[in-house]
Amino acid sequence: MEEQLRHEAYMKKAMAEMDARTNRICDKLDMVNSPPHYADTGIETIDYIVDVLGDFEAISYCHGNVIKYTGSRLWKKGKPIEDAKKAVWYLNKMIELMEKTKGKNW
């Protein structure tokens, strides 16, 4: 019994240390402007989407993401500040694309 308690204490300490390391690494990542999982192939996902859809159609993609990040997800995923920042990022991208296509498509 005593050995089991020592093992549980060891595991709790090890998990706490691992959580602390993970938090330090995550603090250094920019999950809003350049999430690492979006550039695995060497091209940012948004750049690929704009290339495939074109500037005008990509506006709707950005608009959809603004809605996604400011909708019910905002409070359900546990990262409301990060999700709000992502919504702002997509809104800024949407405005950039709208300025680029003004007078051409609408």
pLDDT of res. 4: 74
pLDDT of res. 70: 95
pLDDT of res. 39: 62
Residues of the chain with pLDDT under 50: none
What is the rounded CA–CA span in Å between residue 59 and residue 23? 34
Residue with tokens 């920042």: 85
pLDDT of res. 68: 96
Whether the model pTM is above 0.85: no
Domain parsing of the chain, residue ranges: 1-30, 40-106
